[in-house]
């Protein structure tokens, strides 16, 4: 036994050396693979939108689950969203992709990278950071300071929710293009609507901001257009010794004037770069205006190679309903819309101008839906089907979104009273009918947001002319709706509707000036990717 042991122990060293050599090789290989893995994994994950600094220690053996990465990629909207949020604090941010078809419009990797860079800037300069406090102290000195690390755009709320979402997205693009930080002047009626869009910070302007932002008259010398009109601006590049105001208002309300619109031109943008705080007063989508200057041409091209996706991406990036609003959306969707074979959204909104009666507009909505085969017609019989299942070819849920109940009642009664020629099962729903716009009421705005969002989840959409409510739904949904054309002389329009060319919202009162040639011009014919809107001839929109 002892001998055997000895022999064995004599033979052992060689065997051990060989094995050790082989083991050493495989350990080295394993170590090499692990190192390579650890080095490349952050890159792979960052490409799909995961953090570039995962918490796995070097040396852990990790199996990359391609399916999990794909799910994560879908959840983060192809890199549009930051993964750095607590999911429970804002369920809609990561749950919404499971309520809609995947968007065929992927954000450019450049846009995703710029958003991450913006988030870092916002974190550095956000409310109550040392740099924010420094900017506030300098603001009190009543002049703008050159090369300040943190400059800001302050968004202020005007008009309905649709208008607000469009001006917020426009202001955010301005902030992205000019390396500013976007802060919002939150008012009582707009709390608990949207989640914070930037991780680890806040976009809400602190309430102790030293300027009262709502107290401004149209002829204030602090409105940029008035400064231009009053010749108080020195455009020259070497005018750094000049006094530059600490803050300036941009007046881009629907009735803005030529001097206000010069904001979109290169020289004016260069001047405004020197102003530390820009306050936006607007109720219109003004994104197409940035395409009129040469200054942002390259950057816009890199951010949005597909021009008709600006609001789609910025909207999906910024606007995540809070858990309260998301509860309204999901409970309604799951109860009434989820099971349908097809979901058809009818957004029915009328304005004082152009005037039209209920009967005429109802006629127009239905002619659009029937002529375009969005809804099936009913037969004149009031009979019933002998065979129940053989006639049922499909189920369609019609989501009527309107301030009024009448349209819903009428459509529902029509499908209740008569059989459908195609045999489809038609269900008609309306979440609320508020009867009147109450933008000052918080609960009303939550319901409005829930309905804008529900509309964005349908398969087929019909919208109303000039309605920013409809524009936002189509943009968030990535939908190109049929838009009802404005009634004419109190009669239904004929044709009743048209399919829109792109999902982009309209710039309803565009700047009619060629900044490059410095002369009046129709912006709808200046650039090939800006065209006139279907619902308003002078309005323009981005198309691809
Ligand atoms: P626009 O006036 O159509 O451009 O859309 P806005 O959203 O800017 O303003 C209209 C406001 O009226 C909405 O924000 C809501 O407060 C209210 N409103 C209009 N239509 C509807 C609707 O169909 N449903 C609900 N819940 N509110 C609506």
473-492: pLDDT as tens digits: 999 999 999 999 999 999 99
Q: Where are the domains of the chain?
A: 100-318, 338-539
Supply 151's token pair. Answer: 């400059």
Within 8 A by CB and 6+ apart from 6, the residues are none
470 CA closest ligand 1 atom index: 3
Question: What is the rounded radius of gyration, in angstroms, for the C-alpha atoms of the chain?
Answer: 29
What pTM does this model have? Answer: 0.88
* Ligand 1 centroid to residue 541 C-alpha, Å: 21
Q: What does the mean pLDDT of the chain come to?
A: 88
DSSP E strands: which ranges in 245-394?
Answer: 247-252, 277-282, 342-348
- CB-CB contact of 235 with 264 (8 Å): no
Tokens 């506030």 sit at which residue?
A: 136
Q: How many helices (H) and strands (E) does the chain have?
A: 17, 14
Return the closest-CA partner of residue 474 out of 450, 487, 488, 457: 457
Q: Return the pLDDT at 33.
A: 45
Per-residue model confidence as pLDDT tens digits over 49-72 = 333 333 334 444 455 577 777 777
CA 155 centroid distance within chain: 16
Residue 25 has pLDDT above 70, yes or no: no
468 CA closest ligand 1 atom index: 4
Within 8 A by CB and 6+ apart from 143, the residues are 243, 244, 245, 246
Residue 385 confidence class, pLDDT cut points 50, 70, 90: low
* Ligand 1 centroid to residue 435 C-alpha, Å: 10
* Ligand 1 centroid to residue 436 C-alpha, Å: 9
* Ligand 1 centroid to residue 447 C-alpha, Å: 10
* Ligand 1 centroid to residue 428 C-alpha, Å: 20
Sign (positive/negative) of CA torsion 265, 266, 271, 277? Answer: positive
- CB-CB contact of 188 with 442 (8 Å): yes
Q: Return the pLDDT at 38.
A: 44
Rounded mean pLDDT, 84-113: 94
Residue 335 has pLDDT above 60, yes or no: yes
Hey, what's the torsion of the CAs at 280, 282, 284, 290, to 10 degrees? -30
Residue 1 confidence class, pLDDT cut points 50, 70, 90: very low
Cis ω on the peptide bond leading into residue 495 (within 30° of 0)? Answer: yes
* Ligand 1 centroid to residue 505 C-alpha, Å: 15
- The residue to mutate among 448, 453, 454, having the most atoms of ligand 1 within 8 angstroms of its beta carbon, is 448
SS3 content of the chain, % helix, strand, coil (to 5): 40, 15, 45
Nearest CA to ligand 1 atom 25: 448
464 CA closest ligand 1 atom index: 3
Q: Return the pLDDT at 240.
A: 58
CA angle (311 as vertex; 306, 317 as ends), nearest 5:
105
- The residue to mutate among 157, 159, 160, 454, having the most atoms of ligand 1 within 8 angstroms of its beta carbon, is 160
Tokens 């705005």 sit at which residue?
A: 445
Tokens 């202001």 sit at which residue?
A: 171
How many C-beta atoms lie closer than 10 Å to residue 483's C-beta?
27
Q: Return the pLDDT at 383.
A: 58
Per-residue model confidence as pLDDT tens digits over 150-202 = 999 999 999 999 999 999 999 999 999 999 999 999 999 989 999 999 999 99
Cis ω on the peptide bond leading into residue 354 (within 30° of 0)? Answer: yes
Q: Return the pLDDT at 3.
A: 34
Nearest CA to ligand 1 atom 3: 467
Q: Return the pLDDT at 72.
A: 74
Q: Return the pLDDT at 42.
A: 41
Residue 272 has pLDDT above 50, yes or no: yes
Per-residue model confidence as pLDDT tens digits over 487-541 = 999 999 999 999 999 999 999 999 999 998 999 999 999 999 999 999 999 999 9
CA distances from 230 to 219, 226, 249 (A): 11, 6, 15
* Ligand 1 centroid to residue 281 C-alpha, Å: 20
471 CA closest ligand 1 atom index: 4
Percentage of residues of the chain with pLDDT beyond 70: 85
Q: Return the pLDDT at 239.
A: 56
447 CA closest ligand 1 atom index: 26
Per the model's pLDDT, the better-predicted residue between 251 and 102 turns out to be 251
What is the 8-class DSSP label of residue 334? I
CA distance 471 to 260: 24
401 CA closest ligand 1 atom index: 23
Nearest CA to ligand 1 atom 8: 160
Return the closest-CA partner of residue 304 out of 144, 156, 502, 539: 502
Residue 13 confidence class, pLDDT cut points 50, 70, 90: very low
Q: Return the pLDDT at 43.
A: 41
Which residues are near ligand 1 (CB < 6 Å)? 159-163, 349, 401-403, 432, 434, 437, 439, 444-445, 447-448, 451, 467-469
Q: Return the pLDDT at 241.
A: 67
């Amino acid at each position: 036994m002892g001998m055997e042991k000895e022999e064995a122990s004599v033979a052992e060293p060689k065997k051990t050396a060989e094995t050790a050599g082989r083991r050493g090789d495989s350990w080295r290989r394993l170590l090499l693979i692990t190192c390579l893995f650890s080095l490349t994994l952050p890159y792979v994950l960052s490409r799909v939108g995961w953090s570039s600094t995962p918490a796995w220690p070097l040396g852990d053996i990790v199996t990359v689950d391609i399916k999990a990465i794909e799910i994560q990629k879908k959840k983060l909207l192809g890199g549009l969203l930051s993964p750095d949020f607590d999911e429970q604090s804002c369920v809609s941010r990561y749950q919404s992709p499971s309520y809609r078809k995947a968007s065929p419009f992927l954000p450019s990797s450049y846009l995703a990278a710029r958003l991450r860079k913006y988030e870092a800037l916002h974190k550095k300069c956000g409310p109550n950071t040392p740099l924010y406090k420094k900017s506030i102290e300098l603001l009190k000195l009543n002049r703008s300071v050159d090369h300040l690390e943190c400059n800001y755009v302050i968004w202020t709320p005007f008009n309905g929710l649709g208008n607000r979402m469009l001006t917020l997205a426009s202001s955010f693009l301005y902030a992205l293009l000019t390396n500013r930080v976007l802060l919002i002047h939150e008012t009582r009626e707009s709390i608990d609507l949207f989640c914070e869009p930037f991780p680890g910070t806040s976009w809400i302007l602190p309430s102790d901001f030293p300027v009262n932002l709502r107290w401004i008259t149209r002829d204030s010398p602090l409105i940029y257009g008035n400064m231009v009109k009053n010749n108080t601006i020195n455009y020259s590049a070497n005018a750094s010794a000049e006094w530059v105001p600490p803050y300036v208002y941009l007046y881009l309300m629907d009735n803005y004037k030529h001097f206000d619109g010069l904001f979109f031109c290169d020289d004016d943008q260069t001047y405004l770069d020197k102003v530390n705080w820009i306050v936006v007063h607007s109720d219109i989508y003004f994104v197409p205006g940035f395409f009129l200057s040469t200054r942002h041409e390259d950057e816009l091209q890199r951010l949005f190679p597909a021009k008709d996706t600006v609001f789609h991406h910025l909207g999906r990036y910024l606007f995540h309903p809070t858990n309260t609003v998301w509860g309204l959306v999901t409970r309604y969707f799951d109860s009434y819309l989820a099971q349908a074979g097809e979901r058809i959204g009818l957004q029915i909104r009328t304005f004082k101008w152009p005037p039209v009666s209920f009967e005429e507009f109802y006629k127009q909505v239905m002619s659009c839906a029937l002529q375009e085969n969005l809804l099936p017609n009913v037969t004149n019989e009031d009979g019933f089907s002998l065979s129940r299942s053989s006639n049922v070819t499909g189920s369609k849920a019609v989501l009527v979104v309107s301030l009024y109940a009448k349209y819903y009642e009428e459509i529902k009664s029509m499908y209740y009273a008569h059989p459908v020629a195609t045999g489809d099962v038609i269900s008609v729903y309306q979440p609320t009918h508020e009867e009147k716009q109450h933008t000052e009421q918080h609960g009303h705005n939550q319901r409005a947001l829930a309905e804008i969002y529900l509309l964005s989840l349908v398969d087929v959409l019909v919208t109303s002319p000039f309605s920013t409510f409809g524009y936002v739904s189509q943009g968030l949904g990535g939908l190109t709706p049929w838009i009802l054309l404005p009634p004419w002389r109190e009669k239904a329009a004929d044709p009743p509707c048209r399919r829109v060319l792109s999902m982009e919202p309209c710039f309803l009162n565009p700047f009619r000036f060629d900044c490059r040639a410095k002369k009046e011009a129709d912006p709808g014919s200046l650039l090939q990717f800006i065209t006139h809107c279907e619902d308003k001839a002078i309005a323009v929109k981005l198309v691809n």
